[in-house]
Structure 1
Amino acid sequence: MKLLSPTLLLTFPALILAFPSVTIDAGTIHGGKCKDGKNAVYYKGVPFAEPPVGKLRFEPPKVYSGKYANGALNATAPAATCIQFGDAMVPPGTKSEDCLYLNVWTPANATKTSKLPVRIWVYGGSDMSGGIDYSLYDGCSIADAGSIFVSINYRLGPLGFMALHSAGIYGNQGIQDLLLGLDWVQREISAFGGDPEKVVLTGQSAGATDVYTVATLPQAPSLFKSAIVESIALPSLLTNSTVQQTGASYARTLRCSIRDKPCLQSKTTADLQSAVDSDRLLHTGLGALDGLGVLNRNTPHFWPYVDGTVVSENPATRGIQVPTIFGYNQREGMMDTLTKYDTTKAVAALTAADYTSFLRGNWGSAAHIIQKYYPLSLFESATNGSTSLAVLFAISSVITDSEFKCSGYQSAVQATRKNVSAWIYEFTHNSTCTWLDTMPQSAISIFGAAHTAEIPYVFGNLDFDFPTQNTTCTGSQLEWNLSKEMMSLWTAMAESAKPSTGDISWPAFKVTPKGLNTPGMIFGNSSTPGTIDFSACKFWAQVYAMVDASNATATAVPSSSSAKSSGTPTNGAAIIFPTTMMFAAWWLFLIVASMVV
């Protein structure tokens, strides 16, 4: 924790007065000022829980109830990021188990009587990686536009989602971290100028699944009034048997008894990270296809589950308890696909057999009906007959529909069954600038509206400066306008639990025959009310029913192994972001891609 020293406080009173500051029960928090002409301030690294270390590892978080030393907290620099078990969108700087901190941005002129709307962010990363201090999540633009913005760190991987009842480890620690952070917002946000009655909880990807899970809990309406779910990956959580089997295998990989919590608590974080890579079970079974896996309820992974206490019912059947926006990006699956096939040689070598292997690795005996619904011939017509490119786009389309588009749709359908208001969107805009520092500008047209593409627009962060690429790119005026519209709609959701403004009316979601002509919002070159075709989602509901039935009778997979997996450190379904080494030969791939008409 970063405390202001007594010497600094006594020697430089003028400097202290220059700090923006807020006083809460724990003491006075001194923050910093946003740059680039933004009339906003920030407070970074504010503790909301005791450090979950030592005997508190794997335990529910304990509320931070202390006082800041000398009555002051230096909140001008980020706190540590939680221990990482993947490499997706990882903030720079220190990684530590002592990571339960949050960031707050406010308009510079906000006071405790301002009662401003509050937007809360839950980052994605497959619940294996990520953090609040990733550059794309900077809240200065949101605060400059007149809202309070809060982002909450939560524990990841086995530290945040491991369950092993035989050892007294009950899982969903990361979900409980978020609940405690939300409780902090309710208690303290008024001091920053926020209104605890005007809070929207927003998450993306795995963060969207976590937000959806929290939004289905009985206490949700007391913690926030609405939610926004961007690119939800799996609304139906893992089964208890899958989670227990995963925990047992992981314990054995660490050479601990499945009843020995002290052994598990004694391991170094490096041990924990290495075991995720070497535990064979995490790379076994349907949906665990390294690089291109699509999670199902029985895929071994560190993920939320129905524990009967924190999460008492399956969120997919209980449904949300607050008004919610659900949305997806037009080409979600392209991020997965281009992460797996990241060289010209890999793309050119793709065959129909690779497509079949992808389908079988994720859906088993249901693969043949998927192949009939998404035949390669459907994609070859758009690629001048190129089989390799057809495979690339077919895999991308299958991932988009099965994992993201239909997850959001089914969640919205369940909301209407519970008489809870819902809205839906499709993000279709092809950005001028790349938005991730691992993605070269030359590849932008290939990705299209891929996974994560909407994030810069809802944050108002369209100035991209990537030193690693020695490139700077600024969004077009059209894109800045689109961003302004999306930001205003997201803020309206916090303000009134309805995503409409004086300029834009967002039609409410309703179930239509066969999912055709579903009313929603299309974010293309502008924000346009329209209709979206969800007719494929009935098909995917049937597929997952087949997979669940197959899993119910399947032979158990091997329980553990210390053999090194050749795959990536996270379950394949979690690999939804480019890695640092990705795209080395994408300029060559563009030659191949030029065949697309």
Structure 2
Amino acid sequence: MKLLSPTLLLTFPALILAFPSVTIDAGTIHGGKCKDGKNAVYYKGVPFAEPPVGKLRFEPPKVYSGKYANGALNATAPAATCIQFGDAMVPPGTKSEDCLYLNVWTPANATKTSKLPVRIWVYGGSDMSGGIDYSLYDGCSIADAGSIFVSINYRLGPLGFMALHSAGIYGNQGIQDLLLGLDWVQREISAFGGDPEKVVLTGQSAGATDVYTVATLPQAPSLFKSAIVESIALPSLLTNSTVQQTGASYARSLRCSIRDKPCLQSKTTADLQSAVDSDRLLHTGLGALDGLGVLNRNTPHFWPYVDGTVVSENPATRGIQVPTIFGYNQREGMMDTLTKYDTTKAVAALTAADYTSFLRGNWGSAAHIIQKYYPLSLFESATNGSTSLAVLFAISSVITDSEFKCSGYQSAVQATRKNVSAWIYEFTHNSTCSWLDTMPQSAISIFGAAHTAEIPYVFGNLGFNFPTQNITCTGSQLEWNLSKEMMSLWAAMAESAKPSTGDISWPAFKVTPKGLNTPGMIFGNSSTPGTIDFSACKFWAQVYAMVDASNATATAVPSSSSAKSSGTPTNGAAIIFPTTMMFAAWWLFLIVASMVV
């Protein structure tokens, strides 16, 4: 924690007065001013929990109840990022277990009586990587546009999601971190000019699953009034049996007894990271695209689960408790696909056999009907007859529809059946600029509206300078206009729990009679109300039912001593566990029911 020294406070009073400052129960927080002409200020590295270190490792977070030393906190620079167990969207700087901090951005003229709408951000990264100080998540533009913006760090990987009851570790620590951060917002955000009654909780990718999970909890309406779920994958969580076996396997990889919490708490963070890499059972859930288990949400992984206490019911069946926007990007699957085939040579070498292998590795005996529904010929016509590109786009489309598009649709159907308002969008815009430093500008047309593509637009962060690529890109005026529209709609969701402005009216989601075309918002070259075709979701409901039937007896995770613990039976079909089967059956019911309204 960065505290202002008494010497600085006494010697340079004029300097201190130049800092934007806010006083809360713990003391006075001194922040910084946004640059590039933005009329906004920030406060970084504000603690909301005690450091989860030593005997607090693997424990639920404890509220920060202390006072800042000398009554002041220097919040002009980022705090540490949580320990990383992956490499996606990792912020620079220090990594530490002492990471339960949040960032706040406000308009420069905000006061405690402003009662501004509050947008809260939960980052993605498979719950294995990420952090609030990643460059895309800068909140200066959001605050400059008139909202309060808050981003919350939460523990990742085993530190955030490991459960092992035999050792007294009960899991969902990362979910509890978010709940404690949300509680801090309710207590303190009015001092920054925010209205605790005008809060929208937003997450992307794994962050979207975490937001969805939190939004289904009974206490959700008391913590935020609406939610935005960007690019959610299947919202059915892990079963307890999978979580316990994953925890036991991980403990053995650390050379600890499955009952020895002190041993697990004594390991260095480097030990924890190395064990993730070496654990054979866990690695089946973190590996390559083929056999990854696109269908299988019970692949061994550190992820939220239904623990009966923090998460008492499966979110997929309970449904959200607050009005929510659900959305997906037109080419979600391209990010995963190009991550697997990450060189020009690898893409050029793709054949029809690779497509078949991908389908069999993930859907087993259902592969043939998927290949019939998504034939390569459909994609070859759009790629000038290139088989390799057709394979790339076919795999991407399968992932997009099965994981993201239909998950959003199913979640929206579930909401409306419980009389909770929902809205849905498709982001289709192909950006001028690369938005990730690992994304070559030369490949931008292939990525298209890939996973994460909407993030720069909802943050108002379209200008990028990537020295590693020797490029600077500022975005077109059309893109800045689109960003302004999306930011205003996201702010409206915080303000009124309805995503409409004076200029743009977003039609509410509804299940249409005898069909899967539903009203929604399409973010292309502009924000356009329209109809979104979810007919593929009926097909995927049938696929899930078919695979469930053929795998009804596959109910156990392979032991970590197996020679090849791939989570895949000998017939190549991904294992489906009871919770996933229950979710698929529920999904099929919702899809069929929506056809007969």
Report if TM-score (shorter chain) is over 0.5: yes
Structure 1 window deviating more from structure 2 (314-323 vs 259-268): it is 259-268
Contact persistence 2:410–2:591 (CA under 8 A):
no
CA 456–82 in structure 1, closer or farther in 2 if over 3 Å, else same: same
Q: Deviations over 1:424-483 (max 9, x none)?
A: 000000111111111122111111100100000000011111122221111111111000
The Cα shift of 1:104 comes to: 0.1
Distance in 2, matches of 1:83 and 1:50, equals: 16
CA 462–576 in structure 1, closer or farther in 2 if over 3 Å, else same: farther
Distance in 1, matches of 2:579 and 2:418, equals: 40
Contact persistence 2:548–2:576 (CA under 8 A):
no
Contact persistence 2:558–2:567 (CA under 8 A):
no
The Cα shift of 1:576 comes to: 22
The Cα shift of 1:385 comes to: 2.7
Contact persistence 1:439–1:583 (CA under 8 A):
no
In the alignment, structure 1 residue 418 sits paired with structure 2 residue 418: yes
CA 593–375 in structure 1, closer or farther in 2 if over 3 Å, else same: farther
Structure 1 window deviating more from structure 2 (409-418 vs 461-470): it is 461-470
Contact persistence 2:361–2:574 (CA under 8 A):
no
The Cα shift of 1:265 comes to: 1.0
CA 309–548 in structure 1, closer or farther in 2 if over 3 Å, else same: farther
Distance in 2, matches of 1:594 and 1:222, equals: 31
Q: Deviations over 1:54-109 (max 9, x none)?
A: 11111100000000000000000000000001000000000000000000000000
Distance in 1, matches of 2:142 and 2:269, equals: 35
SS in 1 for 2:584: coil
Contact persistence 2:316–2:583 (CA under 8 A):
no
SS in 2 for 1:383: coil
CA 528–25 in structure 1, closer or farther in 2 if over 3 Å, else same: same
TM-score (normalised: structure 1)? 0.93
The Cα shift of 1:294 comes to: 1.8
Name stretches of at least 5 consecutive residues in structure 2 with no aligned partner.
none
The Cα shift of 1:363 comes to: 2.1
Distance in 2, matches of 1:516 and 1:589, equals: 14
Contact persistence 2:298–2:577 (CA under 8 A):
no
Distance in 2, matches of 1:19 and 1:169, equals: 42
Contact persistence 2:293–2:362 (CA under 8 A):
yes
Distance in 2, matches of 1:376 and 1:358, equals: 13
The Cα shift of 1:162 comes to: 0.8
SS in 2 for 1:23: strand
The Cα shift of 1:347 comes to: 1.1
Distance in 1, matches of 2:577 and 2:487, equals: 24
Contact persistence 1:164–1:171 (CA under 8 A):
yes
Structure 1 window deviating more from structure 2 (105-114 vs 570-579): it is 570-579
CA 414–578 in structure 1, closer or farther in 2 if over 3 Å, else same: closer
CA 482–473 in structure 1, closer or farther in 2 if over 3 Å, else same: same
Distance in 1, matches of 2:590 and 2:387, equals: 16
Distance in 1, matches of 2:325 and 2:538, equals: 21
Distance in 2, matches of 1:71 and 1:295, equals: 52
Distance in 2, matches of 1:556 and 1:56, equals: 31
Distance in 1, matches of 2:578 and 2:35, equals: 29
SS in 2 for 1:573: coil
Contact persistence 2:284–2:567 (CA under 8 A):
no
SS in 2 for 1:552: coil
CA 52–460 in structure 1, closer or farther in 2 if over 3 Å, else same: same
The Cα shift of 1:197 comes to: 0.1
CA 171–48 in structure 1, closer or farther in 2 if over 3 Å, else same: same
The Cα shift of 1:386 comes to: 2.3
In the alignment, structure 1 residue 458 sits paired with structure 2 residue 458: yes
Q: Deviations over 1:219-271 (max 9, x none)?
A: 00000000000000121111111111111111111111111111111111111
The equivalences for 1:91-102 within 5 A come to 91-102=91-102
The Cα shift of 1:367 comes to: 2.0
Contact persistence 1:48–1:63 (CA under 8 A):
yes
Match of residue 8 from structure 1: 8
SS in 2 for 1:178: helix
CA 264–288 in structure 1, closer or farther in 2 if over 3 Å, else same: farther
The Cα shift of 1:573 comes to: 15
Contact persistence 2:433–2:441 (CA under 8 A):
yes
CA 589–551 in structure 1, closer or farther in 2 if over 3 Å, else same: closer
The Cα shift of 1:575 comes to: 19
CA 573–487 in structure 1, closer or farther in 2 if over 3 Å, else same: farther
Distance in 2, matches of 1:569 and 1:511, equals: 37
Distance in 2, matches of 1:546 and 1:184, equals: 46
Give the percent of matched residue pairs that are identical in Structure 1 and Structure 2. Answer: 99
Contact persistence 1:23–1:29 (CA under 8 A):
yes
The Cα shift of 1:359 comes to: 1.5
Match of residue 273 from structure 1: 273
Distance in 1, matches of 2:101 and 2:529, equals: 38
Name stretches of at least 5 consecutive residues in structure 1 with no aligned partner.
none
CA 465–193 in structure 1, closer or farther in 2 if over 3 Å, else same: same
CA 159–398 in structure 1, closer or farther in 2 if over 3 Å, else same: same
Distance in 1, matches of 2:373 and 2:470, equals: 43
Structure 1 window deviating more from structure 2 (535-544 vs 443-452): it is 535-544
Distance in 2, matches of 1:382 and 1:103, equals: 44
Contact persistence 1:433–1:473 (CA under 8 A):
yes
CA 296–109 in structure 1, closer or farther in 2 if over 3 Å, else same: same
Distance in 2, matches of 1:155 and 1:281, equals: 21
The Cα shift of 1:512 comes to: 2.1
RMSD of equivalent CA atoms: 7.7
Distance in 2, matches of 1:580 and 1:335, equals: 24
CA 433–585 in structure 1, closer or farther in 2 if over 3 Å, else same: farther
TM-score (normalised: structure 2)? 0.93
The Cα shift of 1:513 comes to: 4.3
CA 591–120 in structure 1, closer or farther in 2 if over 3 Å, else same: closer
Structure 1 window deviating more from structure 2 (434-443 vs 289-298): it is 289-298
The Cα shift of 1:550 comes to: 4.8
Distance in 2, matches of 1:358 and 1:369, equals: 14
Distance in 1, matches of 2:584 and 2:107, equals: 41
Match of residue 524 from structure 2: 524
Contact persistence 1:329–1:428 (CA under 8 A):
yes
Q: Deviations over 1:115-164 (max 9, x none)?
A: 00000000000100000000000000000000000000000011111111
SS in 2 for 1:188: helix
CA 515–361 in structure 1, closer or farther in 2 if over 3 Å, else same: farther
Distance in 2, matches of 1:483 and 1:113, equals: 28
SS in 2 for 1:301: coil
Structure 1 window deviating more from structure 2 (438-447 vs 490-499): it is 438-447
Match of residue 473 from structure 2: 473
CA 408–58 in structure 1, closer or farther in 2 if over 3 Å, else same: same
Contact persistence 2:410–2:587 (CA under 8 A):
no
CA 527–62 in structure 1, closer or farther in 2 if over 3 Å, else same: same
SS in 2 for 1:52: coil
Contact persistence 1:431–1:448 (CA under 8 A):
yes
SS in 1 for 2:293: coil
The Cα shift of 1:283 comes to: 3.3
The higher-RCO structure (CA 8 Å, 6+ apart) is 1
CA 580–172 in structure 1, closer or farther in 2 if over 3 Å, else same: closer
The size of the alignment, in residue pairs, is: 597
CA 11–547 in structure 1, closer or farther in 2 if over 3 Å, else same: farther
The Cα shift of 1:514 comes to: 5.6
Structure 1 window deviating more from structure 2 (496-505 vs 461-470): it is 461-470
